[in-house]
Amino acid sequence: MTTTIELSATRPPPLTLDDRLALVSLAMDDRLDQAAVAFEVNTHHIPAGPPVEITIPHLPQTAVPCPYRTPIAALLHRARIRIETAGWCRDALLDESGAVCPERAIRLEAASRRQGEDASLLLLESIRRHWQAETIPSWNAQQNSVAPVLLAFDRAAELAHSRDQ
């Protein structure tokens, strides 16, 4: 004689990703609570001292890695960073606070006069593609904020990079 067993219970539905994440979150909360208690027990005998202040040094903008491997694109990127850090000047090459105009930023970052001229030409080409301008200084003087200037540098650097300059 054979006995057959029929399964009358249905399987529970599979857990969704949200359900699994909620369960893992609960498990992690429990482990963190246990670790906190263990820490308190293990360090209870240590006298409390004054709080320690930790300062994180501010990295200068020049620490930002250059995304370009070509020399003119890298120069335009450095000039853009210089405008961001030193400040933007619209009516002169340099003002009393140290802010610089686009031409001055390029000159300061260029390794040679020729490299600076090539970068300025690419910046002017980029400006002419998107705005009406005869020269970089005349266009710069028309701007009300630094945002279009930084955008022009980004576009010029991309143009130089695409041309392998």
Q: How many beta carbons lie within 10 A of that of residue 87, not counting itself?
A: 14
Q: Is the pLDDT of residue 7 over 70?
A: no
Q: How far apart are CA 78 and CA 87, in angstroms?
A: 13
Q: Global pTM?
A: 0.60
* 87-99 pLDDT, tens digit each: 999 887 777 888 8
Q: How far apart are CA 165 and CA 152, in angstroms?
A: 17
Q: How far apart are CA 157 and CA 152, in angstroms?
A: 9
pLDDT at 94: 78
Structure tokens at 6: 């029929």
Structure tokens at 111: 């390794």
In single-letter form, the type of residue at position 108 comes to L
* 32-72 pLDDT, tens digit each: 999 999 888 888 887 777 777 766 565 555 556 778 888 99
pLDDT at 73: 92
Q: Is 100 helix (H, G, I), strand (E, B) or coil?
A: strand
Nearest partner of 125 among 148, 149, 90, 155, judged by Cα: 155
